[in-house]
């Protein structure tokens, strides 16, 4: 059962959130929504621990497409960062604020960047591209994320000041933002030969995700006394994490998406 511990903990946390929100708001939506997400995440982690090769991609599609198609396009909830700003400034305790609080601001203290590995609808498409391992060294253009972060904030402040910020404009912003992210993400992956280039350099959400995931309870640990320095873990890591070190401040530590590829590649089981 030990290998399923993470899956059980994650499911229990989501179920507790689901019940708490349902009981405190009276809305059945919260119970169903968080139960579904917790259930699929828990199943994915369990399948991954059991050795199924495509467990992560399966979960990413279940959660990502649910959020993009059902919550975003059908229910018209802007679940992107602009939606978060909009609901926050409007003082609404909506799905967008909750989503950010749980998946991207406070949740990463527990499960790091699990969102990026198991739920993100942008990455669920980018991960289908052929460059699963970055072809070259990391570029020094990560500052773009801060520009994108400022732009996302600026566009919502502008809409509010013009009196144009409402659910309809937020919906169109959601559609346009997603189209832009997919186009830029795919082009960047093709040019840099790196599926996750968008995540590394452009995505504004990492401004929240990176500092919070530094303190994550769930993380890949390395028993350096077992390590034989074969570098196989480094070769498969899509995010350039120096995972054969155990320190929290190892290189690119806050980039880990918990995909488990390094663990599977390690011949001496030094990674846990
Ligand atoms: S970095 Fe951004 S685009 Fe990439 S997986 Fe995370 S949230 Fe999605
Ligand atoms: S390969 Fe390992 S270190 Fe790299 S992102 Fe995946 S889980 Fe994290
Ligand atoms: S794959 Fe395992 S043994 Fe090889 S460098 Fe990584 S942690 Fe060390």
Whole-number Å distance between alpha carbons of 58 and 60? 5
Looking at the DSSP bridge assignments, the partners of residue 271 are: 222
Q: What is the pLDDT of residues 84-122, one digit of tens each?
A: 999 999 887 777 788 899 899 999 999 899 999 999 999
Ligand 2 center–CA 219 separation, angstroms: 9
Average pLDDT over residues 220-231: 97
User: Is ligand 2 within 6 A of the CB of residue 258?
Assistant: yes
State the number of CA atoms in the 13 A half-sphere of 34 facing the CB: 23
Whole-number Å distance between alpha carbons of 185 and 162? 30
User: Is ligand 3 within 6 A of the CB of residue 231?
Assistant: yes
Q: What is the pLDDT of residues 13-31, one digit of tens each?
A: 889 999 998 999 898 988 9
The sign of the CA dihedral 119, 125, 130, 134 is negative
Q: Which two tokens stand for residue 270?
A: 């030094």
Q: Which two tokens stand for residue 229?
A: 């320095």
User: Which stretch of 3-12, 73-82, 183-192, 222-231 has the lowest confidence by average pLDDT?
Assistant: 3-12
Ligand 3 center–CA 259 separation, angstroms: 16
pLDDT exceeds cutoff 80 at 239: yes
Average pLDDT over residues 38-53: 87
User: Is ligand 2 within 6 A of the CB of residue 243?
Assistant: yes
Q: Which of 220, 233, 262 to mutate to test the pocket of ligand 3 (most atoms within 8 A of CB)?
A: 233
User: Is ligand 2 within 6 A of the CB of residue 261?
Assistant: yes
Residues 6+ apart with CB under 8 A from 264: 236
Whole-number Å distance between alpha carbons of 93 and 189? 36
Q: Which of 57, 107, 206, 238 to mutate to test the pocket of ligand 1 (most atoms within 8 A of CB)?
A: 206
Which residues have any ligand 1 atom within 6 Å of their CB? 116, 120, 122-123, 198-199, 203, 205-206
Which pLDDT does position 117 carry in this prediction?
Answer: 93
- Tell me what percent of the residues of the chain surpass a pLDDT of 90: 79
167-192 and 144-161 helices cross at what angle (nearest 10)? 160
Ligand 3 atom with the shortest distance to the CA of 234: 6
């Amino acid at each position: 059962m030990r290998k399923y511990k993470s899956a059980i903990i994650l499911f229990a946390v989501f179920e507790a959130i689901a019940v708490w929100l349902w009981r405190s708001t009276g809305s059945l939506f919260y119970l169903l929504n968080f139960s579904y997400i917790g259930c699929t995440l828990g199943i994915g982690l369990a399948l991954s621990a059991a050795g199924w090769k495509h467990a992560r991609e399966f979960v990413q599609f279940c959660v990502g497409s649910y959020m993009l198609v059902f919550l975003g396009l059908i229910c018209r909830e802007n679940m992107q960062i602009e939606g978060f700003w909009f609901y926050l400034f409007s003082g609404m305790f909506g799905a967008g604020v909750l989503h950010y609080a749980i998946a991207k601001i406070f949740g990463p203290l527990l499960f790091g960047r699990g969102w990026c590995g198991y739920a993100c609808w942008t990455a669920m498409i980018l991960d289908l591209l052929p460059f699963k391992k970055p072809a070259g060294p990391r570029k020094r253009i990560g500052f773009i994320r801060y520009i994108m972060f400022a732009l996302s904030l600026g566009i919502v402040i502008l809409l509010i000041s013009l009196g144009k910020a409402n659910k309809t404009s937020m919906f169109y912003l959601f559609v346009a933002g997603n189209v832009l992210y997919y186009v830029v993400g795919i082009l960047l992956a093709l040019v840099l030969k790196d599926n996750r280039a968008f995540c590394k350099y452009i995505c504004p959400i990492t401004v929240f995700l990176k500092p919070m995931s530094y303190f994550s309870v769930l993380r890949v640990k390395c028993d350096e006394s077992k390590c034989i320095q074969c570098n196989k873990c480094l070769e498969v890591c899509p995010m350039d994490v120096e995972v054969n070190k155990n320190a929290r401040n190892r290189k690119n530590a806050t980039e880990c998406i918990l995909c488990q590829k390094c663990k599977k590649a390690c011949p001496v089981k030094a990674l846990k």
